[in-house]
Amino acid sequence: MADSVSSALQILIVEDDRAHARIIAEVLEGEGHRVAAVHGAREGLAALEGRPPDLVITDLRLADASGLEIVRRARALRESAAVPQVVVVTGYGTVEGAVEAMRCGALHYLQKPLDVGILRETVRAAADRIALERKNRELQETLDRAYSFQGILGQTRAMQRVFDVMSQVAATDATVLITGESGTGKELVAQALHRAGPRRDAPFVPLNCAALAEGVLESELFGHVRGAFTGAHAERQGRFEAAHGGTLFLDEVGDMPLSTQAHLLRALESGEIVRVGTNTPRRVDVRVIAATHRDLDSRVREGAFREDLGFRLRVVELHIPPLRERLADLPHLAEHFVREAARRHGKPVRTLAPEALELLMAYRWPGNVRELKNAVESMVLLSRGDPIGPDAVPPYVRPAGGEPPDVLQALSGLPLAQVERALVTNTLRDVGGNREQAARLLGVSARTLYRKVSQYGLARRAGRAGSAG
């Protein structure tokens, strides 16, 4: 079975003792592997710069540096998809160094004097591990390809529908409005539409319409001529012109001021823009993609958004559902972010333990995929080993403890004051009237609790129990 998965490895030996290196090389070449041997840590590090080997066998005690340097560098190779496995060789029964090496990501250790049988067994085990990782990686890549669009992951029906529409409209010049909560991937979708279409070699120019004051936004969009306003020392082209031939991405378009909306609509209808301070129209060939986390219909009702511009922008509307409504996408996304963060930070982790994933699945993710990505990155940084355990899950993701969710379900429809009164009363009772402790449990300040206590007339009871403290 083992032989069917493992195959010839590229092995690097780092060893000061040439005779010793030769013996290891002969044994492993006898097993069908390709072996290169270098002397000293410096040569070892240099050898890792090139095409990385599958396996590194390094002595821990080298004349010019510790073999730990080799372990760290090999396990932190970010460029290669396949991080080399490392086996360390320790002298004279000292295991402390070996323990440290394992912590840095070494797979096994061998003790000197080397036993040829143990060497062979250890390398066979490493070969199996390497073959397994390779297979996992291939499966992972297949999965990523099958369930993604231009690097956007999603295997739920909702996301597959988004991808279907994207592939239909990518090749067109249709204006697309992307809606969805913060962090759902709106900008990613806009970039993917650009990359998948015929304008991919021309610029993708983003502009955040919520971040700029009205006048600045106008001149950013359309450009201005010299002297158009105080501070306009030179003529300048706007983002519309910068995006000529390509795509203009109007982010947070729902926050655009009304007067700018009028100018934008005119530009979209005529295919021409006018730099601020002139009347001369200029033709632009731009595809517009817009995004907003707001509900555009209610913005229209409030009088904050032009209905006609709304129609013009949402020729095609792509709604990206919040992560909590497509939780089946979470495991794949989380594993993807683990690998990405591990590569970026050079951490030897590859996957999440089931208990850690379970905690992630139970959270509501108000910040959606961006929040998940940040949480996973912190987990990778805090992880103590592979797989990443539940102890690395950030505290805010964990359930707050206490009431199981079905109890909360049963509370639906009751007057808020009644529920709050009961909650404060019961908490105070459970902590023997200790208000500080009660406030902590309820997640409010001592002042707030004090206010609630007097509001609900609980002072007498709570006061009696708490008067000792």
**Binding to ligand ATP by residue 153, rule CB under 6 A?**
yes
Return d(Cα 154, Cα 330) in angstroms, integer. Answer: 9
Stretch that binds ligand ATP, among 165-173, 178-186, 268-276, 447-455 (CB under 6 A): 178-186
Q: How would you class 428 by CB atoms within 10 Å of its CB: exposed for 0-12, middle for 13-18, buried for 19 or more?
A: buried
Partner whose footprint covers residue 235, from Mg ion, ligand ATP, none (CB < 5 to 8 Å by kind): none
Q: Least distance to ligand ATP from the beta carbon of 292, Å?
A: 8
Query: Closer to ligand ATP at the Cβ: 340 or 386?
Result: 340
Query: Element (H or E) spanning 283, and its range?
Result: strand 281-283
Partner whose footprint covers residue 182, from Mg ion, ligand ATP, none (CB < 5 to 8 Å by kind): ligand ATP
Q: Least distance to Mg ion from the beta carbon of 270, Å?
A: 28
- Asked whether 321 and 281 are in contact (CB, 8 A), the reply is no
Taking CB under 6 A as the criterion, the residue among 101, 369, 376, 453 binding ligand ATP is 369
Q: Least distance to Mg ion from the beta carbon of 178, Å?
A: 9
- Asked whether 235 and 197 are in contact (CB, 8 A), the reply is no
**Binding to ligand ATP by residue 343, rule CB under 6 A?**
no
Stretch that binds ligand ATP, among 22-30, 129-137, 147-155, 311-319 (CB under 6 A): 147-155
Stretch that binds ligand ATP, among 111-119, 125-133, 152-160, 349-357 (CB under 6 A): 152-160
Q: Least distance to ligand ATP from the beta carbon of 293, Å?
A: 5
Q: Least distance to Mg ion from the beta carbon of 187, Å?
A: 4
**Binding to Mg ion by residue 370, rule CB under 5 A?**
no
**Binding to ligand ATP by residue 161, rule CB under 6 A?**
no
Query: Closer to Mg ion at the Cβ: 185 or 466?
Result: 185
The tokens describing 249, both together, are: 């991405």
Query: Closer to Mg ion at the Cβ: 187 or 317?
Result: 187
User: In the range 438-457, which residues lie near ligand ATP by CB under 6 A?
Assistant: none
Query: Binding string to Mg ion for residues 49 to 88, with x set by CB under 5 A, is what?
Result: ----------------------------------------
The tokens describing 208, both together, are: 């955040």
SS3 279: coil
Return d(Cα 412, Cα 344) in angstroms, integer. Answer: 45
Choose among 348, 392, 293: nearest CA to 102.
Answer: 348
- Asked whether 244 and 286 are in contact (CB, 8 A), the reply is yes
Query: Closer to ligand ATP at the Cβ: 22 or 370?
Result: 370
- Asked whether 456 and 421 are in contact (CB, 8 A), the reply is yes
Return d(Cα 191, Cα 187) in angstroms, integer. Answer: 6
**Binding to ligand ATP by residue 154, rule CB under 6 A?**
yes
Which are the contacts of 306, defined by CB distance < 8 A and separation ≥ 6?
A: 258, 261, 262, 265, 300
Query: Closer to ligand ATP at the Cβ: 186 or 199?
Result: 186
Dmax of the chain from CA atoms?
87
**Binding to ligand ATP by residue 370, rule CB under 6 A?**
yes
Return d(Cα 357, Cα 105) in angstroms, integer. Answer: 23
SS3 148: strand
**Binding to ligand ATP by residue 185, rule CB under 6 A?**
yes
**Binding to ligand ATP by residue 184, rule CB under 6 A?**
yes
The distance of Cα 364 from the centroid of its chain, to the nearest Å, equals 16
Helical ranges in 223-329 per DSSP H: 239-242, 258-270, 296-301, 307-313
- Asked whether 345 and 380 are in contact (CB, 8 A), the reply is yes
- Asked whether 208 and 217 are in contact (CB, 8 A), the reply is no
**Binding to ligand ATP by residue 373, rule CB under 6 A?**
yes
Partner whose footprint covers residue 75, from ligand ATP, Mg ion, none (CB < 5 to 8 Å by kind): none
**Binding to ligand ATP by residue 322, rule CB under 6 A?**
no
Stretch that binds ligand ATP, among 148-156, 260-268, 390-398, 417-425 (CB under 6 A): 148-156
Partner whose footprint covers residue 170, from Mg ion, ligand ATP, none (CB < 5 to 8 Å by kind): none
Query: Closer to ligand ATP at the Cβ: 24 or 369?
Result: 369
The tokens describing 394, both together, are: 């950030």
User: In the range 278-297, which residues lie near ligand ATP by CB under 6 A?
Assistant: 293
Query: Binding string to Mg ion for residues 180 to 199, with x set by CB under 5 A, is what?
Result: -------x------------
**Binding to ligand ATP by residue 183, rule CB under 6 A?**
yes
Q: Look at the chain and count its residues.
A: 469
- Asked whether 126 and 108 are in contact (CB, 8 A), the reply is yes
**Binding to ligand ATP by residue 186, rule CB under 6 A?**
yes
Query: Which CA distances in Å does 51 have to 55, 59, 67, 210?
Result: 12, 21, 20, 47
Residues that bind Mg ion (CB under 5 A): 187
Residues that bind ligand ATP (CB under 6 A): 152-154, 180, 182-188, 293, 333, 369-370, 373
